[in-house]
């Protein structure tokens, strides 16, 4: 097995590339987080197309080539010490065939993002590279807890997280150790059958989602089942499920962990007995605690529920 490429802790004045590999973003939406990066002693460096706009049925930050150029610059420029994405949206899949890791392998660095960024994080995981599934530079209308950022800075400084989570009635008990993979369900689903899909064998899978109809959620879960994903993994962690069904952010279904979505997931898992943790605080939700994709973790599900990256 190839050796994992673990990024070094960042030093004072380390340069963090700010890129937009998917949807467009406005400069005003980044100000507070860029200031936060500076307050922590780091220098944010915007990619050439981080604030660009290209409308092709969806408003991207640039053409495929422009977004790919920014990504490969950030990955391979030795003067860049970490990469933080502005947002997700749609478009990261476009870049997978063109990613280059030549210099990155010599100087691995953290890639930070979630949602659509799951596609790039799957690519990195398949090349033995770690990434942080965590809050992007741009916050959304649900806003985020300040710890969603402070915990990312902890990881950048070399500290691994150790999480305790409230028990959930749908949990399946057990203790298992393995590599953490996954992210946004729609992207995990979209990559199935491609060379860029996560390797699920003996892994612990994390899933979160936003804004899907219940039938679409069930279809994605069924596809994972038919593809043998649930038969391959050792454990499962379920995060935020928000604005699901016909709900909007103004509906009473705005709860971070939509109850009916959780029921559908539990139904799809009835024939499996691996440890399953519901209600992990990561996703398109206020309390979005970062996860290290590709890291070895211990998942403990009992009266005490823990996800430990220090094991």
User: Tell me, what's the pLDDT at 64?
Assistant: 98
- Domains plus CATH for the chain? 15-156 (3.40.50.10740), 162-308 (3.50.30.60)
State in Å, rounded, how far the first CA of the chain is from the last one: 20
One digit per residue, the tens of pLDDT, for the chain of length 311 reads 467 889 999 999 999 999 999 999 999 999 999 999 999 999 999 999 999 999 999 999 999 999 999 999 999 999 999 999 999 999 999 999 999 999 999 999 999 999 999 999 999 999 999 999 999 999 776 689 999 999 999 999 999 999 999 999 999 999 999 999 999 999 999 999 999 999 999 999 999 999 999 999 999 999 999 999 999 999 999 999 999 997 655 554 447 999 999 999 999 999 999 999 999 999 999 999 999 999 999 999 999 999 999 75
User: Tell me, what's the pLDDT at 248?
Assistant: 56
Are the beta carbons of 209 and 245 closer than 8 angstroms? no
Are the beta carbons of 60 and 67 closer than 8 angstroms? yes
pTM of the predicted model as reported, rounded to 2 decimal places:
0.96
Helical (H) or strand (E) element with 19: strand 15-19
Count helices and strands in the chain by DSSP H and E runs: 8, 15
User: Tell me, what's the pLDDT at 252?
Assistant: 42
User: Tell me, what's the pLDDT at 220?
Assistant: 98
> What count of other Cβ atoms lies within 10 Å of the Cβ of residue 41?
13
Q: What span, in angstroms and rounded, lies between the C-alpha atoms of 174 and 299?
A: 8
Kindly state the DSSP code that residue 94 receives in the 8-state scheme: G
DSSP secondary structure of 228-284? THHHH-SEEEEEEEES-TT--TTSTT--SB-HHHHHHHHHHTTT--S-EEE--S-SS
User: Residue 184 pairs with which residues in a beta bridge?
Assistant: 208
User: Tell me, what's the pLDDT at 311?
Assistant: 59
User: Tell me, what's the pLDDT at 19?
Assistant: 98
């Amino acid at each position: 097995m190839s050796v994992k490429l673990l990024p070094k802790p960042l030093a004072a004045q380390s340069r963090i590339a700010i890129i937009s590999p998917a949807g467009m973003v406005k400069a005003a939406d980044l100000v507070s987080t860029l200031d936060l990066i500076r307050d922590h002693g780091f220098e944010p460096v915007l990619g050439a197309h981080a604030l660009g706009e290209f409308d092709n049925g969806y408003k991207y930050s640039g053409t495929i080539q422009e977004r790919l150029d920014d990504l490969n610059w950030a990955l391979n420029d030795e003067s860049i010490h970490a990469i933080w994405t502005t947002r997700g949206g749609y478009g990261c899949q476009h870049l997978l065939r063109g990613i280059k890791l030549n210099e990155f392998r010599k100087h691995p660095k953290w890639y930070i993002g979630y949602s659509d960024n799951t596609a790039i994080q799957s690519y990195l995981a398949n090349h033995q590279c770690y990434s942080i599934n965590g809050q992007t530079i741009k916050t959304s209308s649900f806003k985020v807890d300040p710890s969603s950022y402070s915990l990312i800075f902890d990881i950048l400084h070399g500290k691994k997280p150790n999480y305790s989570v409230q028990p959930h009635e749908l949990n399946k008990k057990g203790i298992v150790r393995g590599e953490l993979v996954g992210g946004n369900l729609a992207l995990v689903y979209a990559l199935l059958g491609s060379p860029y899909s996560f390797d699920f064998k003996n892994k612990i899978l994390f899933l979160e989602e936003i804004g899907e109809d219940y039938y679409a959620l069930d279809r994605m879960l069924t596809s994972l089942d038919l593809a043998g994903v649930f038969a391959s993994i050792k454990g499962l962690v379920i995060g935020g499920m928000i604005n699901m069904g016909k709900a909007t952010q103004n509906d009473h279904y705005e709860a971070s962990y939509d109850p009916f979505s959780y029921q559908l997931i539990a139904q799809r898992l009835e024939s499996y007995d691996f440890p399953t943790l519901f209600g992990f605080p990561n996703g398109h939700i206020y309390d979005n605690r970062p996860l290290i994709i590709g890291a070895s973790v211990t998942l403990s599900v009992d009266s005490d529920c823990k996800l430990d990256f220090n094991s």
